[in-house]
Structure formats: structure tokens, C-alpha cells
Amino acid sequence: MKILFISDVHSNLHALEKVLEYIKNLDVDEIFCCGDIVGYNAFPSECLKIIRRNNIKSVMGNHDWAVTTGDTSGFNPYGVAGVEYSRKKLLKEEIEFLKRLPKNISFSRDDISFYVVHGSPRDNIFEYVFPNYPESLFNLFARMVDAEITVLGHTHIPMERIVDGKIFLNPGSVGQPRDSNSNASFMIFDTEDRTYKWYRVAYDVDSAADAIRKSGLPLFLAERLHIGL
């Protein structure tokens, strides 16, 4: 079985559509999202419709949470602007859908156990887990999670850390990569041969950035797409 993991779509319709187009020939069986469907970019409703139409199972991210609650405490001005824009663009029913997203998802495929979360095992929604964090922190997380594979998002940076026999993976961001690479990032896990691979796919960044400018969102949100920041 091939499982596609995506994360941090952040209302980037151009990137999400390109990723789903790219995987059509990769025989993907199932898709999971590590949260943050909305925020930052110009098409929250359109992206949410695609997530639902394709039966993509998603956990709740901090931007999804902020859109449902209106609470942007701790968000920078760009995050606040993205949340407020998404709240204006989404239908009430769509916000209710976001509200029902689980904080984590546990499942097994081909005798491999997975744990999907946006932030961390300790704080499912808000805690960042960066690739360069000390091994002691991953040791703690390994003790907290029974699953062999933990897949998380939030940092927008692809990651692989293996500690105490547990594997921690981040597929990177579809809609706002932050590893100095503007291409959409995602990961496919093959449960049959127990391998995983990251992919980068170019999309129409110019159009995505132009849509941000026309929306009235901060111009920096358009500029950062070009530089992967």
C-alpha cells in the first residue's frame, strides 16, 4: 500500500492541485494530511473542498484551530491576517468541518503502526518539532507514542529522525515550504517494502502569489512563496 502524506496546504490551491495531479500515476491508495489546510494563502474554501472531495483524512493544525475559534493569540501579523481572511471566506459549514478535525490519528497498515499529528506527541497542535532538535526530545516523544511511525507537520520542513526504533517524519509543506525551496513538498510511504520518499513538485507560484496580492493579504505572503521561506 502507498500512503501519501501532505501537510500545511495553507489555502494554496495551485500547489495542492499540482500535487494531486502529479500523484495520479504513482498508485497512491490513501492520503493523510498533517493539518493546516487553511490560512496564509488565497483559496481556503477551494482547498477544503478538494480535501473533502478526495477523502483526505486530516488532523487539526494550529491555523485550522484559530479559524474555528477566532483566537490568534501567539500568531504573528501574517498568521493573523491569514486566519481572518480564511474566516471571512469559509462558509459556516466549512468552519464546522474544521472544528471536527481530530487532534491526532492512529492507524495501522500492513502491520506498520502510524501516528499522525500536526505539532508533536506532547502538544498535538502548537509545538514545533524541528529537524535539528536534540535527541533527548525525540527520546521523550518515542516514549509517549506507541506507533512505529510518527508523521507530523507544522514546521514546513521535511524531516527524518530515527530514535529508539521509532521513526519521526515530516512531509514538508505543500502550500508554503520553508526550506529555501519553493516547490511543493510531500512524502509517500510504501508499506509493502517499508520505504518512504519525499517529492518536490513545481507549481505556478506566480499565479499563487498574484492571487495573494489581489486578495488584500500581506504582500510578504506572496513574496515568501518565491523563495521558500
- What integer pLDDT is reported at residue 163 of this predicted model? 97
Burial letters 183-213, b for 16+ CB under 10 A, else e: bbbbbbbebeeeebebbeeebebeebbebbe
The band of 223, judged by pLDDT with boundaries at 50, 70 and 90, is very high
What proportion of the chain, given as a percentage, has pLDDT over 90? 100
Per-residue pLDDT, averaged over 45-71, amounts to 99
Beta-sheet strand order (sheet of 184-190): 57-58, 30-33, 2-6, 184-190, 195-201
Thinking of the domain 2-227, which architecture would CATH place it in?
Answer: 4-Layer Sandwich (3.60)
How far, in Å, CA of 67 to CA of 225, rounded?
Answer: 22
Per-residue pLDDT, averaged over 157-179, amounts to 98
- What integer pLDDT is reported at residue 36 of this predicted model? 99
How far, in Å, CA of 13 to CA of 19, rounded?
Answer: 10
Model confidence pTM above 0.85: yes
Start-to-end CA distance of the chain, whole Å, equals: 33
Q: What's at 104, amino acid-wise?
A: N
- What integer pLDDT is reported at residue 143 of this predicted model? 98
- What integer pLDDT is reported at residue 193 of this predicted model? 97
- What integer pLDDT is reported at residue 106 of this predicted model? 99
- What integer pLDDT is reported at residue 229 of this predicted model? 95
61-96 confidence digits (pLDDT tens): 999 999 999 999 999 999 999 999 999 999 999 999
How far, in Å, CA of 103 to CA of 152, rounded?
Answer: 11
- What integer pLDDT is reported at residue 14 of this predicted model? 99
- What integer pLDDT is reported at residue 44 of this predicted model? 99
Sequence spans of domains, the chain: 2-227
175-222 confidence digits (pLDDT tens): 999 999 999 999 999 999 999 999 999 999 999 999 999 999 999 999
Give the rounded distance of the alpha carbon of 228 from its chain centre. 15
